[in-house]
Amino acid sequence: MAQQVLTQFTDHEMSWARADRILSDSNSLQSKFIALQILEKLIQTKWKILDEEPRNGIKNFSLNLIVELASSEESLRQNRVFLSKLNLVLVQILKQDWPQKWPDFIPDIVATSRTNLALCENNMAILKLLSEEVFDFSAEQMTQAKAKALKTQMCGEFSSIYSLCMEILQKAVQPSLILATLETLLRFLSWIPFGFIFEMDLINNLCTRFLQPPITRNVTIKCLTEIGSLECGNEYQEQLVNMFTMAVGGLHEILGDLGNVSEEWDEYDDDQQEFIQNVAIFLTSFLSSHLRLVETSASRASVIQAHQYVLRISQVDERELFKVCLEYWNVLVRGMYEDSRTSSFNAPSGLLNLGSNAGANGASMSADLRRQMYSGILTGVRYVMISRMARPEEVLIVENDEGEIVREFIKETDTITLYKAER
């Protein structure tokens, strides 16, 4: 009976008019979430047909409630889950009204962030949600023209957001605020102009200030992974090499040589295991995209150290982690094999042509120099492949209904796929 009454209320076309009373007066968190769901549905389906007065009323009420709940650190902690849903309602309004009917949103949120630390932390969450809605989920929720307009507006006003983020990262001492800012920046990195990333102090701050502290190191290594995956052409190669060198140096200060990771893996807490996984993803994705660049421009010690880390992590008895490393070893070995074939065809004196450069741009290492450089790494990879070799596909011979002896084929499983990749 109670569920029936609740369903009737939520389906009523004017139920949204009671949402403010529920949110203001109710002591039931469940009731408040129902009120927010009603508002969210209204904004998504009927916002454009509402009169201006109720639209402004809902917008101002939502803003005031956010400010009230996020005005102190204690209130922010107590109402974090509810605030997350309330922030999403505000972002739904922004998708409808910004920038035409709410042109001052970005200047306002930047200005209020400088008045209150707790409010600033919640504002970072709002900006992160807005970025996700506009750049990650817009294809399914809005027209191409609307999505393009929001993306253009966001990029046009990003300088003030970036200045706020940098100010927080340079001056803030509150760990939760720094973490919220880094998580917000992580969502920005895939779309902001390259100049903010490579021509400012962002990379240096990430590598020197936030990579080592345990509370920020996971989100920091994710930021570095995102930067390394950007298709930025040749203009910022020097910055990429510097980032790689600083990151590997920072990882060495944190992890040492990582020699006992396979034995100690089960003793690591969730945060430590997540960090090792993120390190593996960063190194394998960066090296897959920029190996030739760092081979010729970074120090040999940094390149070998990075491969040593991937090799150590490959020894951990964790299948999904091993798959990440295996994918990179395939990339490395395939590249070296192709180099060897090219060298054998092009070098008149045979394979041992140490003075030649086989790369298309004339600056890459020769095949033999690369083999010498990675000889120790490849020996370790062979050992890992042998010790971690997955079970091959079973060959089953059966007698069919006609009395013929035939092979029975088994549906390909994850283990068989892994075996083929290792082979």
Question: Rounded to whole angstroms, how far apart are CA atoms 186 and 225?
Answer: 10
> Are the CB atoms for 219 and 183 separated by under 8 Å?
yes
Where b means 16+ CB within 10 Å and e means fewer, 269-307 reads: eeebbebbbbbbbbbbbbbbebbbbbbbbbeeebbebbb
Where b means 16+ CB within 10 Å and e means fewer, 27-37 reads: eeeeebbbbbe
Residue ranges of the alpha helices (H) in 193-234? 194-198, 202-205, 214-228
Q: pTM for the whole thing? A: 0.86
Residue closest to 83 by CA, chosen among 98, 65, 108, 58: 65
Question: Rounded to whole angstroms, how far apart are CA atoms 331 and 292?
Answer: 12
Residue ranges of the alpha helices (H) in 71-209? 73-78, 80-97, 105-113, 117-131, 138-141, 144-156, 158-171, 175-188, 194-198, 202-205
> Are the CB atoms for 109 and 147 separated by under 8 Å?
no
Question: Rounded to whole angstroms, how far apart are CA atoms 345 and 367?
Answer: 12
- pLDDT by residue for the chain (423 residues), tens only, comes to 556 666 777 877 888 888 999 999 888 899 999 999 999 999 999 999 999 999 999 999 999 999 999 999 999 999 999 999 999 999 999 999 999 999 999 999 999 999 999 999 999 999 999 999 988 877 667 788 888 888 899 999 999 999 999 999 999 999 999 999 999 999 999 999 999 999 999 999 999 999 999 999 999 999 999 999 999 889 999 999 999 999 999 999 999 998 899 999 999 999 999 999 999 999 999 999 999 999 999 999 999 999 999 999 999 999 999 999 999 999 999 999 888 887 665 555 443 343 434 333 445 678 888 999 999 999 999 999 888 776 666 566 666 777 777 666 666 566 656 556 655
Question: Rounded to whole angstroms, how far apart are CA atoms 274 and 133?
Answer: 26
